[in-house]
Amino acid sequence: MGEVSYGATGKRKTSVARVRIMPGTGTITVNGKRVDEYFDRSAHLIQARAPLVDTGTEGRYDVVALLHGGGKSGQAGALKHGIARALVEADPNLRTEVKKAGYLSRDARMVERKKAGLKKARKRPQFSKR
């Protein structure tokens, strides 16, 4: 029989992360690349690893994630959300710790849609007297 794995979906802005974690050595693979190759900014790396670091499980699970949509910041947030949800599925005892840290709540901030008759979501057309 195959190895045990736990899956979850993380979201942020328009990015979606499909995350699978399985017992292992702590390698994180994103879209077929190592996580430090995929995210060029250290802030994104720190954000993505945060749930594993805060729960002390960074060396216990291998993470395989498929990310699509949005930009790198949104994808890092989606990966964080997905890893947190997968950790809770793998070990329900971690739920209070992960929830208290705020990793289970989806960051719902998205770009506001453009409204008809306006330049952007809220910007008005320039007034012309003539």
For residue 99, what are the contacts with CB-CB under 8 A and spacing of at least 6? none
Average of per-residue pLDDT across 82-110:
92
pLDDT in tens, 30-71: 999 999 999 999 999 999 999 999 999 988 999 999 999 999
The strand pairing partners of 61, in sequence order, are 23
What's residue 67's pLDDT? 95
In-domain check, residue 90? yes
Task: Record the tokens describing residue 51, joined without a space.
Answer: 């749930």
Cβ–Cβ < 8 Å for 94, 8: no
In-domain check, residue 74? yes
In-domain check, residue 118? no
Instruction: Name the residue range of residue 92's domain.
Output: 6-100
DSSP 3-state helix, strand, coil percentages of the chain (rounded to 5)? 35, 25, 40
CATH of the domain at 27: 3.30.230.10
For residue 20, what are the contacts with CB-CB under 8 A and spacing of at least 6? 5, 6, 7, 63, 64, 65, 86
First to last CA, the chain: 77
In-domain check, residue 29? yes
Per-residue HEC secondary structure of 97-114 comes to HHHHCCCCCCECCCCCCC
In-domain check, residue 110? no
In-domain check, residue 20? yes
pLDDT band at residue 4 using 50, 70 and 90 as cut-offs = confident
Task: Enter the pTM of the model.
Answer: 0.90
Count up the domains in the chain and report the number. 1
In-domain check, residue 127? no
Cβ–Cβ < 8 Å for 8, 85: yes
In-domain check, residue 80? yes
